[in-house]
Chains A and B, each alone.
Chain A
Amino acid sequence: MARRPDLHAVGKNQPRLDGFAKLSGRSEFSDDVQLPGMLRGRVVRAGISHGRIVNIDISAALRVRGVKSIVTVDDKPNPIIGMYQPLLNRTVRFIGQEIAAVAATDDDAAFEAASLVKVQYEPLPAVMDLEKALVPGAPQLHAKAPGNLAWEANEAFDEPDAVFAASDRIIESSYASNPSHNCYAEFHVCVADFSRADKLTVWSPTQSAVLFQKTLATAFGLTEGNVRMMTLNTGGAFTGRGMARPHHFIAALLSRKARRPVKLRSYSDEEFMMGRAGGRAQYRFRTGVMRDGRLRALEADLLVDAGAYIETQMLFPRITAPFFHLLYKVDAIRYRARLVYTNNLPYEWHHGGGIAQMHFGWGQHLDLVAREVGLDPVEFHLMNAVEKGHTTRKGVTFASCGLKECIQKAAKKAGWKRKYGKLPPNKGIGIAIGAMASGAKGLYKHDTSAAFIKVGEDGTVSLLTGIPDMGQGSHTTMAIIAAEVLGIEPVDVTIIAGDTDVTPFDLGAFSQRGTFTTGNAVKAAAEDARSQLLKVAAARFDYKPAQVVFRARQVYPKGRPEQGIAFKQLVYDTLHSREGRAVMGRGFYNSPKEVGSMAYSFGAQIAEVTVDPDTGFVRVDRMTVAHDLGRAINPRVVEGQIDGQVFSGMSQVLYEEVLMDDGQPLNPSRLEYKLPRAFEVPEVDHLLIETIDPYGPFGAKEVGEGPIVCTVPAIANAVAMAVGEQIREMPISPWRVLRAVSRQQDQDDDAA
C-alpha cells in the first residue's frame, strides 16, 4: 500500500472509537431503550394470501387488562405516494400483512389482546409464481397495475440490434436468484414516543435518519423538524434499513393513540416479515462478441417478484441498470426490468442491494462468454475492461480506475495461471469482476452530507455528523479524516451522532456514500476549522498559510518542526485573541453531477472451492480479493468490510434461501435459515489497490458494497469449473450441485 509520507492519520490502523463501548456491553441499541411508562406493541397479521377484510372485531382485545391502544384501518396515517403503508386498505395481499396492532403494559397483555383481534375475510384467488402472475387471466393484485406489472424500465444505448447483428457470435443464458433475508444481528425494533401530538421521537436502527424523518413526517402531518430520529447504534443494515418500514408507522400510531411511548419488536418469524424476505428474480442475458473476444453489445432482461406491494422496489431498475456500463467497453447496451406483483412478501433489499444477486447471473454469463470464445476469463476481462478516463454510454467518466490492476494482481496472488484448467477433480477456481458507485445522486436533486466541527481549548474536537454507523466504521473513518486535516490524532475526536435534533444533515449510509460523500463533508468542515486557526498560526510564524503544517498535535512552519507550537496552544491563542474566535468548522458535500457518482470503485475476486461429489457441499477454500478503493483510510477496517462481504456473498451464493411455500416462509428462523458460521469461513487475501481518486477525501472511494458484487459470481464460476457445468439458480444448494454432478457423471459414462 502506498502510504503518503505527508499523511499522519490516514492509512494507519485505528481501532474503532466505539470499540470499547461495544466490547464492554456499554453501547446502547434501540432494543435497550427503556422509557418511563413504555408500552409493548404487537402486530396482528393477516393469515391469508389474498382477500378482502370484511370485519375487524377488537372488542375482546380491548377488554384485556393492560391494553392501552389498538389501531386498525380506521387509524390510518396519511398515505405516502408510491409506498405501501400498513393499515391503509381493506384488502389483504400477503400472509403477514399488517391488519391491526395492540399496545399494552407488558408483553403478556399485548400477546393476549392481539390473539383476540378477530378478522373476517372474503378470500380472493392468489398467485405466488412470478411467471404465472403475468399470464392473462391470473389473479389481479392491484387495479392500477393491469397484468400485475408493477413497474417496467427500459433503456437502450446506441443501436443494440445493429451491433448484435454485426457481432460474430451471440451468447445467451438465463439465471435466477431466490428470496433471502439479511439476518441482522439486531432484530427489527422501533421505539416511538408520540405522547406529544407535535413531536414524534423514534429510536430505531437505520441507514438514513433523514429518509425516516421525511416519510414519518409526511405520514403524520408533521414537519421534518418535529420528527426526531434517535439512531443510536445500528446493528447491521446491509442495504435493508434505508427507509421507514410498516413497524415504524405502527409504533408511532400506537404511541399517538395511547399517549405513551411504545416499543415494537419483532417476535420470532415476524423478523422475516418485517424484513420482507421476498424477492425471487430471473435474469436473461445476451451478449454480442467478436471472434477474438471483444465485447460489442450487452442485453439484460430482469423479471423480479416485487411481492404484494411496492415499498422501495421501484428503485431496483434504477440501481441495477447502470452496472452494464461500468465494467466493459462496449458499443451498445439494452436493459429491461419488470417488477411483478404476486401474493408473496414484498421484496426488500438484501446485502448487495439486488446488484450482487444480479451479478450471480451476470458474472457467470460473462464467464460463459469467455469460454465460448476460447479465452481464459482473466484474459477476456483484461481485453474488455474499462480504464481510467473511460467514458461510459451513460456519460460517466472514470477519474480513477484500477480494474485491470485488480484483475492482474488478484490473478498473480491466487496463482491463476498455475491453477486455471489444471486443478484436480472437484476443485474449482473462478474469477469475477465488479464496480460500484461511491454515492449515487438520483433520489433527490441533491446527495448532500454536512458536518460540524467544534474545536475545544484543550485541542480536542467534537465532530457532529448525521451518518449512522451500522458497523461499517464510518464514525472512526470520519474521525481519521478530521484528525488528518487538523494534525491531531483520531482519538482526539469525539463523534456526536444519531440525534437529528443535534446532528447536521446527512442523507445517510447507503449507496456507498459514507466515506466519499460524508468524508468530503467532514474534510471540508475540518478545513474550515483549520483555516480559522491558520490565520493566527501564519501571523505568529510570519509564514504564508500554505506553508503551515498541522501534524502530530503540533503546528509548525514547513520544514521547521522545532518552531512548532502545540495544536491546543494555537486553539487557545485563537480564542484568547482580540477577535475571540471560537473555532467551529462547517462543511458539506454534494456531488456536482446531476445523477450518479463522481467516483467508482472496481474489484476482482478469485474464488477457490472444493466440491464434495457425494453430498454436493461446496467449501470455499480461499478468496483473493483485489479492490480499488482509491485509498484505504483505515486499512484494518477496510479488510473487515471486505471480510464481511466475502462471507455474506459466500453465504448468499451457497446457503441462503427463504423457502416460500404458498406465501409463507418455511424457514423463518436463525436455525432453519442456513446462514453459515465460524466453521465455514474461507481464508481471505486482501489486496487494497490505491488509485487515489481526485474527488475522494484523500483519494478514497467506497468499499462497502463493491466487494460482494464480485464474491457471488466468483464462487459460482469456481463451482461451475469444479462440477463441469454452471448452476444457474442461487443459492448453489447441495442438491443443485448434486443434480449437476450426476448429470456430468452420466455424460462421462455415456462418453466412455
Chain B
Amino acid sequence: MHLPRFEYVRPDSVAHVLTLLGEWRARASILAGGTDLLASMGQRLAQPKVLIGIRYLPQLAGVEAAADGGLRIAAATTLSDLEHHPLLAERFPTLKKAINAVASRHVRNMATLGGNLALPTRCWYTNQTETWRNARSGCFKTDAQACHVLATSDHCVATSSADSVPALIAHGASVILASVRGQRTVPLADFYREDGANPTVLAPDELIIAIDVPPCADRTAFIKVTPREGIDFGLGTIAVAVAGSNRRVERARIIVNALGSHPMPLRAAEAVIREQGLTEASVEAAAVAARADLGEITNLWTPAGYKRRLVRALLRRALDDVRRQKRGPAPALPAPGLPVAGEVSHAV
C-alpha cells in the first residue's frame, strides 16, 4: 500500500473533532479503525487532505448498559470489544453473532462499530487501484454518470455489505450523529439511502457518536452466507427479530443485506408472518412473498438468479430458527456493577 499525502490530526475532545469536521467537511475523513479507509486510500478511492484520529478519545469508546436494559455503544468501540462484552452474550446473542461475522478477528480487533455502519459500498469496478480504474471509463463514484455493475441503472448499485447493519436494524437500533450544528438521532433503518455512491444520510460535517440499541425481548436470528468463513463479504445476510409467540406475532422485522446498494427490509414477508404467525406454511409463504420486496440485486461474484434463490433459503432458515426458539433473552434489568464505558473484560 502506498498512501496519498495527508495531514494527521488527533483532537483531544469530541467537540474538537466536530470543529475540525465543520471546517474541513468532505476534505477530511475520520480515522477510527482504519481497516477500510486506509485500504481505500491506497487505491486512491478516498483522498482526504486530513485524517482525524478519534481512536483514543475515551468518550467514543465503550459499551454502556442503558437504564431501560438497552445498550449505548460508543462509535469507536472496536468490534472485538463489543463482541466480547458480557451484555451481548447475555442479552443480544444475535448481535454478537453479527459482529462476529465481520471480516476477520484481526480486523475486528481494529475496526469500530461506527466504521462498520459507515462502510462504503463496494464493487469490482471501482474498488480497484487507480491504474486499474484508469483502463476504463468512470462511474457514479468517480467522474461519470454510469454504473459498470448494472449498465441500465441510473444510480450506483455497489453492494452494501456491513454485517452488523441488518442485525442492528432488526433490533431497532438508532445512531446518534453530531456536528457543530447540533445532535440528532436517526433510526438506523433510515440512515441508509438507495444510492451506492452516497449510501448514508451522514452529512460531511457529522460524526457518528454512538449507537443506541433498545432492550430486546424478541426472538432473533442472524445468518451470513459466505463461501469463506473467517474473512469475506457475505453473498447474502439476513437478520430477523420477532416479537410475540408463534401463534400471535406482534411485530416482525426482517432485514437482508449484501444483496444491493442498501440494507432491505422484507416488508411483504414481515406482513405474512404478522398475519399468519410463525408456522411451517407461513415461513414458506413469507419466502415466496419476499420476492416482491427485492429491488435491484447486485450480482458480482454470482450470476443473476443466484441471490434471489439465496434470499428464499436465508429467509426460510432464519425464520425456522426463530420459530424453534422458545423465547428471546430474559427481559433486561439495569444491572449495577457491569463494566462501564472503555473497560472491556475479554483481553488480558
The short answer to whether A and B are in direct contact, CB under 8 Å, is yes
A615's partner among B1, B124, B229, B313 (CB-CB below 8 A) is B313
Contact status A679-B129, CB under 8 Å = no
Q: In the complex, A268→B317 CA distance in Å?
A: 38
Binds B, one of A193-201, A341-349, A669-677: A669-677
A664 at interface by CB-CB < 8 Å: yes
Closest residue of chain A to B39 (Cβ to Cβ) is A671
Contact status B2-A107, CB under 8 Å = yes
Tell me the chain A residues, 631-690 only, with Cβ under 8 Å from chain B.
655, 659, 661-662, 664, 666-668, 671-672, 674-680
Could you list 17 examples of A-B contacts with CB < 8 Å? A45-B131, A95-B135, A267-B2, A268-B42, A268-B43, A268-B129, A614-B313, A614-B316, A655-B228, A662-B136, A672-B124, A674-B227, A674-B232, A677-B228, A734-B235, A734-B306, A738-B306
Q: Which residues of A contact B2 (CB under 8 A)?
A: 107-108, 111, 267
Shortest A123–chain B CB gap in Å is: 12
Contact status B231-A671, CB under 8 Å = yes
Q: In the complex, A133→B1 CA distance in Å?
A: 36
Q: Which residues of A contact B1 (CB under 8 A)?
A: 268
The 10 tightest CB contacts between A and B, nearest first, are A614-B313, A679-B229, A47-B135, A666-B124, A735-B306, A679-B230, A268-B129, A735-B302, A677-B230, A269-B129
Tell me the chain A residues, 602-653 only, with Cβ under 8 Å from chain B.
614-617
Q: Which residues of A contact B225 (CB under 8 A)?
A: 615, 617
Given A267-B2, A268-B42, A679–B228 Cβ distance below 8 Å?
yes
B132 at interface by CB-CB < 8 Å: yes
Tell me the chain B residues, 298-318 only, with Cβ under 8 Å from chain A.
301-303, 306, 309-310, 313, 316-317
A48 at interface by CB-CB < 8 Å: yes
Q: Which residues of B contact A678 (CB under 8 A)?
A: 230
Q: Which residues of A contact B302 (CB under 8 A)?
A: 734-735
Contact status A667-B131, CB under 8 Å = no
In addition to A269-B131, A674-B232, 9 A-B residue pairs with Cβ atoms within 8 Å of each other are: A48-B135, A107-B2, A614-B313, A616-B306, A661-B124, A664-B135, A667-B301, A674-B228, A733-B227
Contact status B227-A667, CB under 8 Å = no
Given A268-B42, A664-B135, A735-B302, A617–B310 Cβ distance below 8 Å?
no
Mark contacts of B64-91 with chain A using CB atoms, 8 A cut-off: 1 yes-contact digit, 0 otherwise.
0000000000000000000000000000
Q: In the complex, A616→B230 CA distance in Å?
A: 18
Closest residue of chain A to B302 (Cβ to Cβ) is A735
Shortest B222–chain A CB gap in Å is: 16
Q: Which residues of A contact B301 (CB under 8 A)?
A: 659, 667, 674, 733
B245 at interface by CB-CB < 8 Å: no
Q: In the complex, A634→B316 CA distance in Å?
A: 51
B228's partner among A47, A616, A668, A676 (CB-CB below 8 A) is A676
B152 at interface by CB-CB < 8 Å: no
Q: Which residues of B contact A95 (CB under 8 A)?
A: 135
B134 at interface by CB-CB < 8 Å: yes
Q: Which residues of A contact B124 (CB under 8 A)?
A: 659, 661, 666-667, 672
Q: In the complex, A671→B310 CA distance in Å?
A: 22
Contact status B310-A614, CB under 8 Å = yes
Q: Give the total of B residues in contact with A, Cβ under 8 Å.
A: 30
Q: Which residues of A contact B279 (CB under 8 A)?
A: none
B276 at interface by CB-CB < 8 Å: no
B198 at interface by CB-CB < 8 Å: no
Q: In the complex, A238→B228 CA distance in Å?
A: 22
Q: Which residues of B contact A742 (CB under 8 A)?
A: 309
Q: In the complex, A666→B225 CA distance in Å?
A: 21
Shortest B115–chain A CB gap in Å is: 16
B200 at interface by CB-CB < 8 Å: no
Given A268-B42, A615-B310, A680–B303 Cβ distance below 8 Å?
no
B59 at interface by CB-CB < 8 Å: no
Tell me the chain A residues, 97-126 only, with Cβ under 8 Å from chain B.
107-108, 111
Shortest A392–chain B CB gap in Å is: 40
Given A676-B228, A677-B228, A269–B309 Cβ distance below 8 Å?
no
Tell me the chain A residues, 5-50 only, with Cβ under 8 Å from chain B.
45, 47-48
Q: Which residues of B contact A615 (CB under 8 A)?
A: 225, 235, 310, 313
Q: In the complex, A662→B301 CA distance in Å?
A: 16
Contact status B227-A655, CB under 8 Å = yes
Q: In the complex, A675→B232 CA distance in Å?
A: 10
Shortest B213–chain A CB gap in Å is: 28
Q: Which residues of B contact A661 (CB under 8 A)?
A: 124
B128 at interface by CB-CB < 8 Å: yes
Q: Which residues of B contact A107 (CB under 8 A)?
A: 2
Closest residue of chain B to A734 (Cβ to Cβ) is B227
Contact status A614-B317, CB under 8 Å = yes
Q: Which residues of A contact B231 (CB under 8 A)?
A: 671, 677
Shortest B174–chain A CB gap in Å is: 31
Shortest B290–chain A CB gap in Å is: 14
Shortest A168–chain B CB gap in Å is: 40
Q: Which residues of A contact B313 (CB under 8 A)?
A: 614-615
Contact status A735-B134, CB under 8 Å = no
Tell me the chain B residues, 115-163 only, with Cβ under 8 Å from chain A.
124-125, 128-129, 131-132, 134-136
Q: Which residues of B contact A269 (CB under 8 A)?
A: 128-129, 131-132
Tell me the chain B residues, 7-45 only, with Cβ under 8 Å from chain A.
42-43
Contact status A617-B227, CB under 8 Å = yes
Closest residue of chain A to B307 (Cβ to Cβ) is A735
Closest residue of chain A to B316 (Cβ to Cβ) is A614
Q: In the complex, A735→B310 CA distance in Å?
A: 10
Q: In the complex, A661→B2 CA distance in Å?
A: 26
Q: In the complex, A513→B189 CA distance in Å?
A: 61
Q: In the complex, A268→B45 CA distance in Å?
A: 14
Tell me the chain B residues, 88-127 only, with Cβ under 8 Å from chain A.
124-125
Mark contacts of B269-293 with chain A using CB atoms, 8 A cut-off: 1 yes-contact digit, 0 otherwise.
0000000000000000000000000
Q: Which residues of B contact A668 (CB under 8 A)?
A: 128, 132
Shortest A267–chain B CB gap in Å is: 7
Mark contacts of A239-266 with chain B using CB atoms, 8 A cut-off: 1 yes-contact digit, 0 otherwise.
0000000000000000000000000000
Mark contacts of B253-275 with chain A using CB atoms, 8 A cut-off: 1 yes-contact digit, 0 otherwise.
00000000000000000000000
Q: In the complex, A667→B228 CA distance in Å?
A: 15
Closest residue of chain B to A48 (Cβ to Cβ) is B135
Q: In the complex, A95→B132 CA distance in Å?
A: 9
Q: In the complex, A661→B125 CA distance in Å?
A: 10
Q: In the complex, A677→B343 CA distance in Å?
A: 32
Q: In the complex, A614→B214 CA distance in Å?
A: 33
Q: Which residues of B contact A677 (CB under 8 A)?
A: 228-231
Q: Which residues of A contact B131 (CB under 8 A)?
A: 45, 47, 269
Shortest A258–chain B CB gap in Å is: 20
Contact status A680-B310, CB under 8 Å = no
Q: In the complex, A270→B225 CA distance in Å?
A: 30
